[in-house]
Amino acid sequence: MGFNQNSVLGLFACIALCSSASASDCTKTSTGLIPLNDLGKSLYLGEMGGLYPEGMNRRPAAHEASGLEIAQGIVPLDAAGNPDPNGKVVLLSIGMSNATQEWSAFMSLALQDPDLNSRLVIVDGAEGGRDARDISNPGSTYWSQTIPSRLANAGVTAAQVQVLWLKEAVARPTASFPDDALELQGLLESIVQILKDLFPNSEVTYLNSRSYAGYAGTDLNPEPYAYQQGFAIKWLIEDQISGDPDLNYDPDAGPVEAPWLSFGVYMWADGLVARSDGMTWVCADFRDDGTHPSDQGRRKVAELLLHHFKSDLTSTPWFLETGSGHCGVPAFADLYGTGTSGTNGVPHLITMTLPVIPSADPFGFLIHSARPNSTAFFLVGVTPLADFEVPLEGGSLLVLPILLFPRPTDPAGVATLPLGFLPDDPALCGAIAYVQGLVFDPLGPTGKLAHTQGMEVVAGD
């Protein structure tokens, strides 16, 4: 699909509002910050990590159950908002320049997918130059002009909008943490309340984090503000989970003020430092300003979004065509527990890629920051849902409860356990592996070993 006319106009709006671009700095490949999904129960400037309460990366059971129930109730609506099997389900993006550029790439990718619900209409409502301070104002022309125009051009109405994707930030922030994140949290709260007012049938809003901004050459939204934006989303969702009446989505609990909220894709990773699920950001993922995505970066985000909507159990009922044949379990990788420090600090465990069935890239595990030229062990326990074999380096591995794989670490302190490509085998769906890395290291706490955090890995869509 590429840029549509609205995206181009949005880009010009951003240029008009932004300072003159400066070249990106491709030497800034890391900030040393830990992504929220890897931070877990550890603290950043006194604040706990994780995407959800108590340092967790998965939605609490009650919030998950509500989201699943809501998703099952999302059905095509006619122009007046009444259920109609010949109507439409509208998925609308809301946000700024990065959002419109990424969403347009996602739309192009999604519309080519044979599993897409034929009654789903995806609309790009994001516009360049529209930061959170602007669109948190219900009187902004964003709401009175931009959004109505985008919906009309798509041939749908506000009454048919049931799901929204929101990506926002504050332009040129200057406050210190946590004040910057608290300000953005308040602005996001106002925005999701506006969404419920303007789209009375809106049920779900996914909030997306920013990607890495260490290469940024402008003051538009550099690090650490891009990283700290994740806390604003996390706290907003936590307030809804804790029962804040200003964010209530349940009509049985009082006046409905907002849609049900969840993280969409948490996209922040520390430049070239891979996070636990293998995600990194290279300088070529961004344009010359180091802030807006390049064509390569837009494609990367589009693929992440498509994976989210095709695998998250709160989106599959309305995003996918009925009977599309997917296994119904999201691919997932999550760290837990704590590691111990050795020669290079705490070694950490990452996956080569998410365990998607079938995998597009070779799957396996790596241990980083281990003692160089030493021996590492991958301790793997597998809980299958059915009898099957796991491919391993050209052969296959008969599943056993606990396996120990010794591997050498290279001069950079990296050990690798390649498992090959995951086949398109339904028996793999929902299989869970528990993995931990151990390294011979005389500077470990026992004088013999240092170890990584544990990792839970779920194979699925």
Same domain, 119 and 197: yes
User: Does residue 13 lie in a domain region?
Assistant: yes
Same domain, 205 and 350: no
Q: What is the pLDDT of residues 206-217, one digit of tens each?
A: 999 999 999 999
Mean pLDDT of 140-156: 98
Supply the DSSP string of 260-308, one letter for each residue.
EEEE------BTTB--TT-----GGGB-TTSSSB-HHHHHHHHHHHHHH
Same domain, 48 and 115: yes
CA atoms within 13 A on the CB side of 99: 27
Same domain, 305 and 359: no
Same domain, 172 and 47: yes
Task: Name the DSSP letter for residue 30.
Answer: -
Instruction: Please say which residue of 290, 319, 348 terminates a domain.
Output: 319
Structural domain including 286 reads 5-319
61-72 and 225-241 helices, crossing angle to 10°: 80
Per the model's pLDDT, the better-predicted residue between 23 and 268 turns out to be 268
Q: What is the pLDDT of residues 162-197, one digit of tens each?
A: 999 999 999 999 999 999 999 999 999 999 999 999
User: Does residue 246 lie in a domain region?
Assistant: yes
User: Does residue 351 lie in a domain region?
Assistant: yes
User: Does residue 17 lie in a domain region?
Assistant: yes
Handedness of CA 170, 174, 178, 183 (dihedral sign): negative
Same domain, 184 and 73: yes
Q: N- to C-terminal Cα distance for the chain?
A: 25
What's the mean pLDDT when you consider all of the chain? 91
Q: How confident is the model at residue 19 (pLDDT cuts 50, 70, 90)?
A: very low
Burial environment of residue 140 by CB neighbours within 10 A (0 to 12, 13 to 18, 19 or more): middle
Q: What percentage of the chain reaches a pLDDT higher than 70?
A: 91
Per the model's pLDDT, the better-predicted residue between 197 and 420 turns out to be 197
**Is the pLDDT at 7 greater than 50, yes or no?**
no
Same domain, 146 and 49: yes
Instruction: Please say which residue of 319, 351, 368 terminates a domain.
Output: 319
Give the CATH number of the domain where residue 417 resides. 2.60.40
Mean pLDDT of 86-109: 98
Pairing of strands 415-420, 363-368: antiparallel
Give the CATH number of the domain where residue 70 resides. 3.40.50.1110
Alpha-carbon span 267 to 288, nearest angstrom: 20
Alpha-carbon span 368 to 347, nearest angstrom: 6
Same domain, 271 and 339: no
Same domain, 30 and 129: yes
Radius of gyration of the chain (CA): 22
User: Does residue 29 lie in a domain region?
Assistant: yes
Query: Cα 437 from chain centroid?
Result: 25
Burial environment of residue 187 by CB neighbours within 10 A (0 to 12, 13 to 18, 19 or more): buried
Q: How confident is the model at residue 112 (pLDDT cuts 50, 70, 90)?
A: very high
User: Does residue 120 lie in a domain region?
Assistant: yes
Instruction: Please say which residue of 319, 341, 358 terminates a domain.
Output: 319
Same domain, 90 and 138: yes
Within 10 angstroms of residue 267's Cβ, the number of other Cβ atoms is 21
User: Does residue 324 lie in a domain region?
Assistant: no
User: Does residue 327 lie in a domain region?
Assistant: no
Q: What is the pLDDT of residues 313-357, one digit of tens each?
A: 999 999 999 867 678 888 989 998 889 999 999 999 999 999 999
97-110 and 5-17 helices, crossing angle to 10°: 160
Alpha-carbon span 246 to 254, nearest angstrom: 10
Same domain, 350 and 408: yes
| Cα-based angle 249, 250, 253 (whole degrees, multiple of 5) | 120
Q: Which of 41, 36, 52 is nearest to 262 (CA)?
A: 52
Split into its structural domains, the chain has a count of: 2
Same domain, 147 and 238: yes
Residues 343 and 441 sit within 8 Å (Cβ to Cβ): yes
Residues 330 and 336 sit within 8 Å (Cβ to Cβ): no
Q: List % helix, strand, coil for the chain (3-state, nearest 5).
A: 30, 25, 45
Alpha-carbon span 454 to 432, nearest angstrom: 13
